[in-house]
């Protein structure tokens, strides 16, 4: 036999379950505009039927239902869509960082324009041709001098401007490193909180949301791969467990370090987080390229690594993981974009070079300035200046100098930053060798001031085929190639940013359609659960009336 109060208990359970559903629904509505919030759903299931299978069960036909109960409160989330979203945000972060750097580089180069290097070079050539036509004109010589100063200043200005922006990205990388390590530290703390609650049967949905929000933010900086591990104990079957987080490649594979170890950023087994440390070739030099990336265990409650300062981390020979060659840092995200822009050490065929967008542009400017100026000086020294013609004494002078750096074709670094007119040219324009003449002062052929042949040859240096960076070409073609490559790279970065942005937006909309709170849907559910609650309350009233009849009205016949 069932209990007299069986129906009352069944209705009470219905009342309690509908109330729980309404409370969860209210929580959804309250957080409809909360960033990162995932709507929650009460999983309702029937309670165990009466009687249960046993030897002393009552002999009644079949089992009678005992009501309903709340199984758990679960987030509505699709882990596959989350993975897609994080993949796309990593791509978008990388291409946005790259496009941002190339855009600033284009602004500095400012081509084509009347203030760019190409126009300045053209003006310099024009002044030489004017001097070739009027070599005895002192005004033409002064124009050559001023146009030469303008050319040297333009080289120097572009070079210093690029270096200034490059140093800014050094700061940006350091900030990114700190942000990544801060996020990893927070994820590890949330992971531990989840691990302390799940074994007791709880579903810490709001902690899940916070962890996913942090991982979404992390995925803009680097690509990550998530591995869920059960918490153990009495965890619900819908519990999401603890996360191990790995650094990942753009293809979603786990990234491995120089020793072929999978780089684990969050280790749920040990409850530790391993953070990034960017090591430069020389930390005190703001132009120093990135030499390697090390990973150390992070402190739990404060910034920094366990037992190490930043400087100590540079010298430490025992990181948990290490990437010696930045080509191994094969991941997406803003951090990689910043490193590729700022510059890093790269080894190709056993030769170590400074790679990166800004380093490569600066190196091309150095090659261009040194090769052009060296050839120009060579031609200038072969000519005769008015002072030499008047004195009859050969005193060949360089037109350009590099501030006494002693540069060579194999090592022209700093040429564009330090190119300037030689002191002799600056002090007296009559040192400009516009005339052509013999090397031997005793020769029958003599140079004269009205001869502008050497000035014409100087003007023709722009068309001379020279070894610019290992390529035989002229200075204008080499510079056009530099600007063309810059334009192609910037166009590609902008295009890929747009594509990645569209894909990310599409996946985000898909995720929102699954996980976000729809007020219309919540209002429909509110009405549904309200009617269920009212019906359960009416059922209790009905059973109460039945019990009142049995208790207070039965047995009164015949009195």
Q: What whole-number distance in Å separates Cα of residue 522 and Cα of residue 299?
A: 43
The residues pairing with 383 across neighbouring beta strands, listed in sequence order, are: 436
Of residues 315 and 11, more confidently modeled: 11
The answer to whether residue 557 scores a pLDDT higher than 70 is no
pLDDT at residue 301, as a whole number: 76
The answer to whether residue 304 scores a pLDDT higher than 90 is no
Closest Cα to residue 95, out of 330, 323, 340?
340
Whether residue 320 sits in one domain with residue 390: no
Whether residue 153 sits in one domain with residue 21: no
Residue 190 lies in a domain: yes
Query: Which stretches of 200-356 are DSSP H helices?
Result: 205-219, 310-315, 334-342
The pLDDT of 184-198, averaged and rounded, is 93
The answer to whether residue 328 scores a pLDDT higher than 90 is no
pLDDT band at 327 (very low <50, low <70, confident <90, very high): confident
pLDDT band at 534 (very low <50, low <70, confident <90, very high): very high
Whether residue 310 sits in one domain with residue 194: yes
The pLDDT of 537-543, averaged and rounded, is 90
- The pLDDT tens digits of the residues spanning 193-210 come to 999 998 998 889 999 999
The pLDDT of 535-548, averaged and rounded, is 89
Residue 164 lies in a domain: no
- Domain holding 400, by residue range, is 131-159+359-484
pLDDT at residue 444, as a whole number: 47
Closest Cα to residue 541, out of 2, 3, 15, 84?
15
pLDDT at residue 361, as a whole number: 93
Calculate the CA 241 to chain-centre distance.
Answer: 29
Q: What whole-number distance in Å separates Cα of residue 162 and Cα of residue 108?
A: 7
27's enclosing H/E stretch is helix 6-30
The pLDDT of 435-439, averaged and rounded, is 75
The answer to whether residue 411 scores a pLDDT higher than 50 is yes
Is the alpha carbon torsion for 365, 168, 177, 77 positive or negative? negative
**Taking all residues of the chain, what is their mean pLDDT, rounded to a whole number?**
88
The answer to whether residue 237 scores a pLDDT higher than 60 is yes
Q: Measured over all CA atoms, what is the biggest interatomic distance in the chain, rounded to whole angstroms?
A: 161
The answer to whether residue 351 scores a pLDDT higher than 80 is no
Secondary structure E strands in 424-470 = 435-436, 466-468
The residues pairing with 322 across neighbouring beta strands, listed in sequence order, are: 294
Whether residue 37 sits in one domain with residue 139: no
Whether residue 475 sits in one domain with residue 367: yes
Residue 381 lies in a domain: yes
Whether residue 222 sits in one domain with residue 89: yes
pLDDT band at 447 (very low <50, low <70, confident <90, very high): low
Residue 417 lies in a domain: yes
Contact between 326 and 292 (Cβ < 8 Å):
yes
pLDDT at residue 452, as a whole number: 83
Query: CA 162, 168, 171: angle at the middle one, nearest 5?
Result: 150
Q: What whole-number distance in Å separates Cα of residue 389 and Cα of residue 366?
A: 34
Closest Cα to residue 490, out of 104, 165, 157?
104
Specify the 3-state DSSP secondary structure of 275: strand
pLDDT at residue 498, as a whole number: 95
Q: DSSP string of 77-144?
A: --HHHHHHHHHHHHHHHHHHHHHHHHHHHHHHH--SSTTSHHHHHHHHHHHHHHHHH-TT-HHHHHHH
Residue 116 lies in a domain: no
Residue 117 lies in a domain: no
Contact between 399 and 377 (Cβ < 8 Å):
yes
The answer to whether residue 239 scores a pLDDT higher than 50 is yes
Residue 415 lies in a domain: yes
The answer to whether residue 162 scores a pLDDT higher than 60 is yes
The answer to whether residue 473 scores a pLDDT higher than 80 is yes
Whether residue 382 sits in one domain with residue 339: no
Whether residue 259 sits in one domain with residue 182: yes
Whether residue 467 sits in one domain with residue 409: yes
**pLDDT above 90 coverage of the chain, percent:** 55
Contact between 503 and 510 (Cβ < 8 Å):
no
pLDDT at residue 147, as a whole number: 94
pLDDT band at 439 (very low <50, low <70, confident <90, very high): low
pLDDT band at 56 (very low <50, low <70, confident <90, very high): confident
Secondary structure E strands in 131-283 = 224-229, 242-247, 264-267, 272-280
Whether residue 19 sits in one domain with residue 148: no
The answer to whether residue 556 scores a pLDDT higher than 80 is no
Residues 6 or more apart in contact with residue 64 via CB below 8 angstroms: 2, 6, 49, 50
The pLDDT of 120-143, averaged and rounded, is 91
Closest Cα to residue 2, out of 49, 43, 38, 55?
49
Whether residue 303 sits in one domain with residue 203: yes
The pLDDT of 115-133, averaged and rounded, is 91
Which 8-state DSSP code applies to residue 262?
B
Q: What whole-number distance in Å separates Cα of residue 272 and Cα of residue 306?
A: 11
Out of 92-101, 389-398, 515-524, pick the least confident.
389-398
Q: What whole-number distance in Å separates Cα of residue 89 and Cα of residue 222?
A: 9
pTM of the model: 0.87
pLDDT at residue 551, as a whole number: 82
Residue 350 lies in a domain: no
Whether residue 297 sits in one domain with residue 246: yes
The answer to whether residue 410 scores a pLDDT higher than 70 is yes
Please enumerate, as own/partner, the contacts of 68-71 that have beta carbons within 8 Å and a separation of 24 or more. Answer: 68/13, 68/14, 68/17, 68/44, 69/13, 69/17, 69/44, 69/45, 70/16, 70/17, 70/20, 70/21, 70/42, 70/43, 70/44, 71/43, 71/44, 71/45
pLDDT band at 1 (very low <50, low <70, confident <90, very high): low
pLDDT at residue 450, as a whole number: 78
Q: Strand pairing of 400-401 and 420-421?
A: antiparallel
- The pLDDT tens digits of the residues spanning 266-276 come to 999 999 999 99
Domain count, the chain: 3
């Amino acid at each position: 036999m069932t209990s007299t109060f069986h129906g009352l208990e069944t209705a009470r359970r219905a009342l309690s379950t509908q109330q729980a559903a309404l409370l969860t629904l209210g929580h959804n509505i309250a957080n409809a505009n909360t960033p990162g919030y995932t709507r929650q759903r009460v999983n309702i299931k029937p309670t165990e039927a009466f009687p249960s299978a046993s030897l002393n069960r009552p002999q009644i036909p079949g089992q009678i239902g005992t009501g309903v109960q709340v199984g758990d409160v679960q987030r509505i989330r699709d882990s596959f869509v989350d993975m897609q979203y994080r993949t796309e945000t990593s791509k978008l972060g990388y291409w946005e960082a790259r496009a941002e750097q190339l855009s600033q580089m284009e602004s500095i180069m400012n081509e084509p324009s009347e203030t760019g290097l190409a126009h300045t070079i053209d003006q310099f050539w024009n002044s030489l041709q004017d001097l070739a036509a009027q070599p005895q004109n002192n005004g033409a010589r002064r124009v050559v001098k001023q146009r030469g100063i303008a050319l040297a200043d333009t080289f120097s200005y572009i070079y210093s401007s690029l270096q200034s922006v490059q140093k800014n990205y050094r700061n940006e990388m350091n900030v990114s490193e700190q942000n990544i390590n801060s996020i990893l530290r927070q994820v590890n703390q949330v992971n531990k909180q989840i691990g302390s609650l799940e074994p007791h049967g709880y579903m810490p949905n709001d902690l899940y949301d916070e962890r996913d929000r942090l991982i979404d933010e992390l995925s803009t900086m680097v690509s990550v791969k998530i591995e869920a591990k059960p918490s153990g104990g009495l965890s619900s079957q819908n519990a999401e467990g603890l996360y191990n987080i790995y650094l990942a490649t753009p293809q979603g594979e786990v990234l491995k370090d120089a020793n072929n170890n999978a780089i684990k950023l969050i280790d749920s087994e040990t409850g530790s987080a391993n953070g990034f440390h960017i090591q430069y070739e020389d930390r005190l030099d703001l132009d120093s390229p990135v030499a390697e990336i090390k990973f150390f265990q992070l402190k739990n409650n404060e910034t920094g690594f366990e037992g190490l300062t930043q400087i100590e981390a540079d010298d430490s020979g025992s990181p948990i993981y290490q990437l010696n060659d930045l080509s191994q840092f094969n991941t997406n995200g803003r951090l990689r974009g910043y490193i590729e822009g700022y510059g890093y050490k790269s080894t190709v065929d056993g030769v170590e070079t400074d790679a990166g967008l800004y380093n490569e542009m600066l190196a091309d400017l150095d090659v261009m300035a040194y090769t052009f100026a060296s050839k120009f000086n060579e031609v200038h020294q072969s000519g005769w200046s008015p002072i030499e013609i008047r004195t009859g004494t050969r005193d060949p002078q360089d037109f350009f100098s590099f501030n006494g750096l002693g540069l060579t074709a194999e090592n022209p670094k700093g040429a564009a930053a330090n190119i300037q007119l030689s002191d002799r040219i600056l002090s007296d324009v009559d040192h400009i060798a516009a005339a052509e003449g013999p090397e031997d002062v005793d020769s029958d052929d003599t140079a004269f001031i009205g001869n502008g042949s050497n000035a014409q040859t100087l003007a023709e240096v722009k068309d001379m085929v020279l070894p610019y960076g290992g390529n035989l070409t002229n200075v204008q073609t080499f510079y056009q190639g530099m600007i063309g490559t810059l334009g192609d790279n910037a166009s590609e970065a902008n295009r890929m940013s747009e594509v990645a942005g569209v894909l990310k937006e599409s996946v985000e909309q898909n995720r929102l359609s699954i996980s976000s709170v729809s007020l219309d849907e919540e209002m429909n559910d509110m009405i549904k659960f309200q009617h269920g609650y009212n019906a359960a309350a009416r059922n209790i009233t009905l059973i109460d009336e039945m019990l009142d009849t049995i208790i207070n009205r039965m047995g009164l016949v015949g009195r």
